[in-house]
Amino acid sequence: MRLSRFFMPTLKEDPKEAQIASHRLMLRAGMIQQSSAGIYSWLPLGHMVLKNIEKIVREEQNKAGALEILMPTIQPADLWRESDRYDDYGKEMLRIEDRHGRAMLYGPTNEEQVTDIFRSNVKSYKDLPLNLYHIQWKFRDEVRPRFGVMRGREFLMKDAYSFDLDYENSKITYNRMFVAYLKTYARLGLQAIPLRADTGPIGGDLSHEFIILADTGESEVFYHKDILNLPTPDAKDHSPEELQTLVDEWTSYYAAADEMHDAENCTVGEGDLITRRGIEVGHIFHFGQKYSEKMGASVAGPDGKDVNVSMGSYGIGVSRLVGGIIEACHDDNGIIWPEEVAPFKVGLINLKSGDDACDAACDEFYNKLQAAGVDVLYDDTSDRAGGKFAKMDLIGLPWQVTIGPRGLKSGVVEFKNRASGEKEELSPEAALEKLIG
Ligand SMILES: Nc1ncnc2c1ncn2[C@@H]1O[C@H](COP(=O)(O)OP(=O)(O)O)[C@@H](O)[C@H]1O
Ligand SMILES: [Mg+2]
């Protein structure tokens, strides 16, 4: 992509409304634009990152056996009356009336909707287990939307819903999702910690929150320092026994958010207990028959008797992760994208656009990267060099290649790693080799 043809409305000054780094940097890099409180448009650069995160989340859900569907954003209130949550959900739910006076709502979550799909179609234990997910916008009329996409009113969530015959089986599904989450966050370049969590309005008896550490996180977390040394589970398929072993290992270390932390009874030694702030990037729940009982989601069991299925739900805050990753990965100059989610892998800077030799060398470099399928943003504008460098640092692409008249004379380009700041002078061929590999 040539910057001259791209739409990336960057800001030189810090926007006043932004209190935390990710919000400030997303606005400055031209990734999002606020529409109203907690509701954003995603501009090209932001949209690319959102899609990259979504892709990784999707791949890991698919690998874990979940099936992708797409449920609507607008749901009928009647479904929520069946589960008794229509009144319980309170003011966070955006209630809408259609032209016929029917009560509708903009979904804050989809347990009722998916249970309705299940009960209309699945009748036998032979069709279990079933795990359905979608990646869809949610609306929650938060009292205090803030920090940009971190606590929005409209936000993108991956939510999966599992159906099993009994507790034993749904525990296996829960464990499989738990492990899939660890793999997902690792692929996003993040170190996530699973915490024992409160089940809140979704209800149930088993729940974990996944948080990433960041000073600007909304919750205070307490954890045993060694949990950070646990290796990410392998990419392979795990048997139910292996899944249980992994979950046991990860949950054997103390880790809890402030509402669950009990200082009096915490057994972790003083030097081992770390207190920091964290951002909740995922939340999984096992809630058994809570919805299946109320909504009549049952199947014929092996003995022919009807059983209410045992369910769980599994959320990942996809749009929140864009901000979360920036909180975890930035410096004074801007964002530092982990390679897997970066909007482009390479930023190419032409130090003297309009100069024939520079233009030719840059075009050639650009074309070769394009031909090799490497995503590159080419700053071919006539801006000053200082402005170009600052902009590239701000948008945080993993690699920067700078081509200018002086280097060209000695046959070199400058090759920079955004994360470490390390620079080397390389021949264009050697630089291409590193990027195409
Ligand atoms: N207002 C919000 N803005 C952005 N992301 C959110 C918001 N609320 C929840 N999420 C994301 O969706 C995930 C699942 O939500 P859930 O646990 O049901 O919400 P909550 O913790 O607010 O009850 C959360 O872990 C979080 O990453
Ligand atoms: Mg939660």
Confidence of residue 200 (pLDDT cuts 50, 70, 90): low
What's the pLDDT score for residue 259? 86
* Burial grade of 47 (CB within 10 A; 0-12, 13-18, 19 or more): middle
Confidence of residue 205 (pLDDT cuts 50, 70, 90): low
What's the pLDDT score for residue 199? 66
* Burial grade of 215 (CB within 10 A; 0-12, 13-18, 19 or more): exposed
Query: Is the CB of 140 inside a 6 Å radius of any atom of ligand 1?
Result: yes
Query: Is the CB of 282 inside a 6 Å radius of any atom of ligand 1?
Result: yes
Query: Is the CB of 411 inside a 6 Å radius of any atom of ligand 1?
Result: no
What's the pLDDT score for residue 202? 56
pLDDT exceeds 60 at position 197: yes
pLDDT exceeds 80 at position 426: yes
pLDDT exceeds 90 at position 82: yes
Query: Is the CB of 152 inside a 6 Å radius of any atom of ligand 1?
Result: yes
Instruction: Report how far ligand 2's centroid is from the alpha carbon of 285 (Å).
Output: 9
Confidence of residue 338 (pLDDT cuts 50, 70, 90): very high
Q: Give mean pLDDT, residues 406-417.
A: 97
Instruction: Report how far ligand 2's centroid is from the alpha carbon of 257 (Å).
Output: 11
pLDDT exceeds 90 at position 129: yes
Exposure pattern of 164-194 as b/e (b: 16+ CB <10 Å)?
Answer: bbeeebbbbbbbbbbbbbbbbbbbbbbebbb
Percent residues over pLDDT 90 in the chain: 92
* Burial grade of 278 (CB within 10 A; 0-12, 13-18, 19 or more): buried
What's the pLDDT score for residue 260? 86
Which residue is closest in CA terms to ligand 1's atom 23?
200
pLDDT digits (tens, 9 = 90+) for 152-189: 999 999 999 999 999 999 999 999 999 999 999 999 99
pLDDT exceeds 70 at position 326: yes
Length of the chain: 437
Q: Cβ contacts of residue 432 below 8 Å, gap of 6+?
A: 365, 368, 369, 372
Confidence of residue 262 (pLDDT cuts 50, 70, 90): confident
Query: Is the CB of 180 inside a 6 Å radius of any atom of ligand 1?
Result: no
pLDDT exceeds 70 at position 117: yes
pLDDT digits (tens, 9 = 90+) for 389-409: 999 999 999 999 999 999 999
Instruction: Report how far ligand 1's centroid is from the alpha carbon of 155 (Å).
Output: 8
Instruction: Report how far ligand 1's centroid is from the alpha carbon of 62 (Å).
Output: 21
Which residue is closest in CA terms to ligand 1's atom 12?
317
The Cα 115–Cα 163 span in angstroms is 9
Confidence of residue 148 (pLDDT cuts 50, 70, 90): very high
CB 359 within 8 A of CB 353: yes
Mean predicted lDDT score pLDDT of the chain: 96
Query: Does the pTM of the predicted model rise above 0.75?
Result: yes
Task: Give the closest ligand to the alpha carbon of residue 278.
Answer: 1
Q: Cβ contacts of residue 309 below 8 Å, gap of 6+?
A: 118, 128, 163, 164, 165, 289, 292, 297, 298, 299
